[in-house]
Amino acid sequence: MIRRLSQLALALVLTGCAENAVLEVELTLPAQPATGAPLFAYVQARSADVVSFDEAWAGTDAIDGRALETAVSMLPFSVVAGGASFTRQLGVRIRFCASRDCTGLGDDRAPEVRYRIQRAFYQGHRTRVALVIDAVPAPPPPIGAPITDIDKCDVEGCTTGTTSTYCFMNGHHFCED
Amino acid sequence: MHFGFTDARRSAILSACMFRGPRPSTHALSLALACAIGLASPAPAAAELHAPLGDPSASELAEARARYQAGNAAADAGEFADALEDFVRAFELSGNPAALYNAARTLRSLGRHVDARDAFDQLLTQFPDVSDATRAEARNLREEEASRIATLRLLELPTPSEALVLRIDGTVRLDGGRRPFVLEVDPGRHGVVVTLEHFRPFAWEGEIAPGGAEALTVRLDPEPTASSESILEEPALWIVVGVVVVAGAVIGGYFAWDSAQLRPESQDVIRL
């Protein structure tokens, strides 16, 4: 309650200033494998100082499982972050499960793809990143499955046009104050 | 004529204050005020010190003599309040002008110049047989006291009514209806409060020098109407107003804050 009131009070002071940040993710999903049961892409995201994929992300917000199609498909989604997440890493976990909510039999060992973004959020700014999954990985995922690291300079934002990097030469992102 | 005092007997103050009988208009204030010096505030009623109506008995004379001697002893010791009690009582019992004279001088020592002048006046008018020397001395002292008396004039005072209350130094004063209202006071600090129903009180406090004159214009402004006052002074009203203002600010601030936040472009959203 006190936290809420504090937020409201701060909001009154900072009226007109966005306190959040949004990462728009354009996720390319692979086609449904020719053999096997239908799969659903179950997407989760969490922020941490150092994102770990070694444990289950129980309680982490997720997007309803999306059934893979016979061809490559797009799954755009947004990740909204508050102040605590701005300077943290962002982990994105895409699991290919037999059930939509990834709780079906054998889904605890469902194959998955892991992304770790060095920094994705900047207060008051919208950033974008494109993630492409060419194919469903082979189950089960080995411990220490590969993680695709995405540098903060590869996160699009705070500029127009096309560029190979979104950082200044000193390494600061365009969105950094 | 000797001058002295005795031990304080506070109960005698009250008895000494209980003067009765006709009151000459020239004696606006009397020893009654002075004898009440041991009380919280002087008695407002005007009265003069009275001698016994008939011849005093032997025991009364004996007591008067004892009180007179006690008064002299107290005065010698500088205990003028006690001395005044004794001289007043001695005069009441005996009607002896020596007691009245000493009482007048005691009032003078106490700085009660109005009462002292009146006591000297009483001596000069009611006791023509005192010695010439005493009369001359009493007259000189009377003039000296009269020159020290200050006056307080209240201008624009409303006409007398039960709703009009005049307090000088915290004591209610009778309003005879004469305008302007003039009051003789001893020099020093005084306070005046005038109250009238449905008007804001008038108050003044200040210093008046010996022989000085202070003229006060009494302005009585009407009080606000009861209805508007009762509404504005109602705490619940201000609580409601405060709650509405705070709630409005919070709600308005929230919407302003919320509208400033970034909106996700996609229908599918993950919130960290």
Q: What is the 3-state secondary structure (H, E, C) of chain A?
A: CHHHHHHHHHHHHCCCCCCCEEEEEEEEECCCCCCCCCCEEEEEEEEECCCCCCCCCCCCCEEEEEECCCCCEEEEEEEEECHHHCCCEEEEEEEEECCCCCCCCCHHHCCEEEEEECCCCCCCCEEEEEEECCCCCCCCCCCCCCEEEECHHHCEECCCCCCCCCECCCCCECCCC
- Separation in Å, CA of B236 to nearest CA in chain A: 24
Best residue of A6, A10, A80, A156 to probe chain B, by most B CBs closer than 10 Å:
A80
Per the CB < 8 A criterion, the answer to whether B50 and B126 are in contact is: no
- Separation in Å, CA of A140 to nearest CA in chain B: 26
Determine, for residues B256 and A62 on separate chains, whether the beta-carbon distance falls below 8 Å.
no
Between A42 and B224, the higher pLDDT residue:
A42
| Whole-number Å distance between alpha carbons of B139 and B142 | 5
Q: Is A130 on the interface with B (CB under 8 A)?
A: no
Reported ipTM: 0.85
Residue type, A158: C
Enter the pTM of the model. Answer: 0.45
Determine, for residues B270 and A8 on separate chains, whether the beta-carbon distance falls below 8 Å.
no
Q: Are strands A73-81 and B269-271 parallel, antiparallel or unpaired?
A: parallel
> Long-range contact list for B216-219, CB < 8 A, 24+ apart?
B216/B152, B216/B153, B216/B154, B216/B155, B216/B192, B217/B155, B217/B156, B218/B154, B218/B155, B218/B156, B218/B157, B218/B158, B218/B194, B219/B156
Q: Which two tokens stand for residue B3?
A: 């001058």
Q: Is A11 on the interface with B (CB under 8 A)?
A: yes
Residue type, B257: W
Per the CB < 8 A criterion, the answer to whether B150 and B214 are in contact is: yes
B150 three-class SS: strand
Nearest CB among B253, B264, B266 relative to A11 is that of: B253
Determine, for residues A43 and B260 on separate chains, whether the beta-carbon distance falls below 8 Å.
no
CB pairs under 8 A between A and B: 82
**pLDDT (tens digit, 9 = 90+) per residue, B250-272?**
888 888 878 888 899 989 999 98
Contacts of B249 in chain A (CB under 8 A): 12
Q: Is B133 on the interface with A (CB under 8 A)?
A: no
**Would the CA dihedral through B261, B264, B267, B269 be positive or negative?**
negative
Best residue of A10, A13, A14, A15 to probe chain B, by most B CBs closer than 10 Å:
A15
Determine, for residues B260 and A18 on separate chains, whether the beta-carbon distance falls below 8 Å.
yes
pLDDT above 70 coverage of chain B, percent: 81
pLDDT at B177: 86
Cis status of the peptide bond prior to B180, with omega within 30 of 0: yes
Residue B161: pLDDT band with limits 50, 70, 90: confident
**pLDDT (tens digit, 9 = 90+) per residue, B173-199?**
888 888 888 889 999 988 888 888 888
Please, which residues have CB within 8 angstroms of residue A93's CB and are 6 or more apart in sequence?
Answer: A43, A44, A45, A46, A53, A57, A112, A113, A114, A115
- Mean pLDDT, chain B, whole residue set: 79
Determine, for residues B272 and A80 on separate chains, whether the beta-carbon distance falls below 8 Å.
yes
Contacts of A19 in chain B (CB under 8 A): 257, 261
Q: Are strands B164-168 and B188-196 parallel, antiparallel or unpaired?
A: antiparallel
Please, which residues have CB within 8 angstroms of residue A135's CB and are 6 or more apart in sequence?
Answer: A30, A33
Nearest to B23 by CA among B176, B160, B170, B166: B176
Distances in Å between the Cα of A32 and the Cα atoms of A73, A96, B66, B100, B220 are 10, 10, 131, 129, 95
**pLDDT (tens digit, 9 = 90+) per residue, B87-111?**
999 999 999 999 999 999 999 999 9
DSSP B180-204: SEEEEE-SEEEEEEEEETTBPPEEE
Residue B42: pLDDT band with limits 50, 70, 90: very low
Best residue of A4, A20, A27 to probe chain B, by most B CBs closer than 10 Å:
A20
Residue B201: pLDDT band with limits 50, 70, 90: confident
Query: Would you give the distance in Å from CA B178 to the centre of its chain?
Result: 20
- Separation in Å, CA of B246 to nearest CA in chain A: 11
Least confident window among A10-19, B174-183, B203-212, B221-230: A10-19
Mean pLDDT, to the nearest integer, of B18-32? Answer: 31
**pLDDT (tens digit, 9 = 90+) per residue, A61-106?**
899 899 999 999 999 999 999 878 899 999 999 999 999 999 888 8
Residue A159: pLDDT band with limits 50, 70, 90: confident
Phi first, then psi, for residue B33 (nearest 5°) are -65, -45
Q: Is B250 on the interface with A (CB under 8 A)?
A: yes
Q: Is A158 on the interface with B (CB under 8 A)?
A: no
Residue type, B230: S
Nearest to B101 by CA among B85, B82, B123, B79: B123
Least confident window among A144-153, A162-171, B30-39: B30-39
pLDDT at A24: 96
Determine, for residues A18 and B261 on separate chains, whether the beta-carbon distance falls below 8 Å.
yes
Q: Is A81 on the interface with B (CB under 8 A)?
A: yes
pLDDT at B163: 86
Nearest to A70 by CA among A29, A13, A98: A29
Dihedral angle computed from the Cα positions of residues A163, A166, A171 and A175, in that order, rounded to the nearest 10 degrees:
150
Determine, for residues A22 and B265 on separate chains, whether the beta-carbon distance falls below 8 Å.
yes
In terms of CA atoms, which chain B residue is nearest residue A19?
B261
Nearest CB among A15, A63, A82 relative to B272 is that of: A82
Query: Would you give the distance in Å from CA B98 to the centre of its chain?
Result: 29
pLDDT at A6: 57
Between A78 and B2, the higher pLDDT residue:
A78
Contacts of A46 in chain B (CB under 8 A): 272
pLDDT at A145: 76
